[in-house]
Amino acid sequence: MEDKNIHREKPFLRWLVLLCGILSLISLALPFGSYRLDKTYYDISGLQLITGKTIMGGRVVIPPTAPLIIGTIAAIVMLVFLIAGYNKMTPRKSGLLVLLCGFADTIVGIILVVTMTTAILSEAKKPRMGVGVYLYLALAVLTVVLAYTILAMNKAVSALDFMVIPGVIYMICNNYIPMVGISFAFKKINYSVGIWKSPWVGFENFKFLFRSQDTLIITRNTILYNLTFIILGNVLGALVGICLSEIFSRRLQKLYQTTILLPQLISWVIVAYIAYGFLSNEAGWINKTVLGAGNEINFYGTTKYWPFILVFFHLWKGLGYSSIVYLSSIVGIDRSLYEAASIDGCSRIGAVRHITVPLLKPTLITLITLGVGRIFFSDFGLFYQVPMNSGSLYAVTDTIDTYVYRALMQLNNVSMASAASAFQAIVGFGTVLIFNTIVRRVSRENALF
């Protein structure tokens, strides 16, 4: 029987990873940075960054560096595992644990390289990077390579798995590292002392949304518009997708697909001026051509028309994309089902009703779930650009995003804007969980997770 313990099969890999972990801890004793005082450079080691240090004759205080503390803990965990618990895990689990620790140290090393002179030693005179930072980062990258080697040699991963590395790196850099910015929502940003040294204020910034007299209006508008967009957008998208699938001419189908997708590529600024060309009081096509002189309507001063105008432009711009999503699902349906239905005497409409629509249910549920997750977000271009930021229309065009933007422009308070974004993200995440739980209880196979 094949031995599942990787250190018995490839023992040198274990010792290489162990050596990397030990050297990573030793590198903390090396200079991670340096500063100049009285024409002399003084070094700061990684250990001093972990414990904190007072430099520049007591004028500058360097607090404990949180990322380096996390990286050190990851290295210690890896060493403890290699020494004590290596025999108790399968190759896949052990390789993944080493890989996780290596990734953690790599991210910490990148953060240190980026922030050493710009944030950690920003108040020091002529700060420089130390050799310890580069050694720490190099050992972390080597640990990641060794972890992948362990997994590959034990057939826990294949060469194709390496193709996901760029995507994983992009996801970490684009989706997870920026999550550090959520801390801004709990601070009162003071640019004179810097973002990281700004004082913590707890939930004071969140009161900005709930204390306002317009909270009910902007929340109502955001939710109701999104519900309308979800319902009409998916219904019309599925309907247009079904119509496109019924066109037998390939050239006409491509022509219609391209034509209906063009509005998706137009900026909301251009859409706003297109709308202005139709709705303008002075030279608008509707007022000058359709209604005629004496019957003009002040569209940019009358609220009752704008719920329909905004819904129309949202559907016009996004219908092409949603219909192609449904069309791609329809194309994937087995054509033999339609042939069998035709043999049984089923009409084309009957086939759509009994075959196409039921098989579109997973796509419909997925798109609705994604829409529900953004029910507290709004399309800024639609609600700000198209109404031309008209103050008389705020009652029906103001949403959480546009309200926060105006408050940010007037008050220049980044903390309040961050609090609003954090609130939207948290509530949206909770809404997705609730909706997915309902779907799983009704139809488990159609739930996202």
CATH number at residue 152: 1.20.140
Q: How far is CA 92 from CA 2, 11, 149, in A?
A: 14, 16, 11
Do residue 74 and residue 218 come from a single domain?
no
Task: Give the pLDDT score at 89.
Answer: 66
Query: Is 320 part of a structural domain of the chain?
Result: yes
The mean pLDDT of 411-434, rounded to a whole number, is 84
Task: Give the pLDDT score at 88.
Answer: 66
Do residue 247 and residue 396 come from a single domain?
yes
CA distance 441 to 365: 13
For 52-104, write each residue's pLDDT tens digit: 888 877 778 888 888 899 989 988 988 888 777 666 666 677 778 888 888 88
Query: Is 433 part of a structural domain of the chain?
Result: yes
Please give the mean pLDDT across all residues of the chain. 85
Q: Which of 157, 181, 197 is the last residue of a domain?
A: 157
Task: Give the pLDDT score at 86.
Answer: 60
Query: Is 170 part of a structural domain of the chain?
Result: no
Q: Which of the 8 DSSP states describes residue 200?
A: B
Query: Is 98 part of a structural domain of the chain?
Result: yes
Do residue 261 and residue 121 come from a single domain?
no
Query: Is 195 part of a structural domain of the chain?
Result: no
Which helix (H) or strand (E) element contains residue 380?
A: helix 380-380
Task: Give the pLDDT band (50/70/90) at residue 424.
Answer: confident
The mean pLDDT of 101-117, rounded to a whole number, is 88
Q: Judge whether residue 3 has pLDDT over 60.
A: no
Task: Give the pLDDT band (50/70/90) at residue 8.
Answer: very low
Do residue 143 and residue 214 come from a single domain?
no
Query: Is 172 part of a structural domain of the chain?
Result: no
Q: How many domains does the chain have?
A: 2
Do residue 272 and residue 149 come from a single domain?
no
CATH number at residue 260: 1.10.3720.10
For 318-334, write each residue's pLDDT tens digit: 999 999 999 999 988 88
Any residues with CB less than 8 A from the CB of 48 and at least 6 apart, and which?
62
Do residue 151 and residue 211 come from a single domain?
no
Query: Is 375 part of a structural domain of the chain?
Result: yes
Q: Which residue would you say has higher pLDDT here, 342 or 413?
A: 342
Do residue 282 and residue 425 come from a single domain?
yes
Q: Judge whether residue 141 has pLDDT over 50.
A: yes
Query: Is 75 part of a structural domain of the chain?
Result: yes
φ, ψ dihedrals at 155, nearest 5°: 60, 30
Q: Judge whether residue 5 has pLDDT over 60.
A: no
Do residue 224 and residue 140 come from a single domain?
no
Q: Which of 157, 178, 199 is the last residue of a domain?
A: 157
**Terminal alpha carbon distance of the chain:** 36
Helices and strands, counts by H and E, the chain: 21, 5
Report whether 356 contacts 333 (CB < 8 A): yes
Domain assignment of residue 382, given as a range = 207-446
Task: Give the pLDDT score at 268.
Answer: 92
3-state secondary structure of 267: coil
Do residue 102 and residue 212 come from a single domain?
no
3-state secondary structure of 279: helix
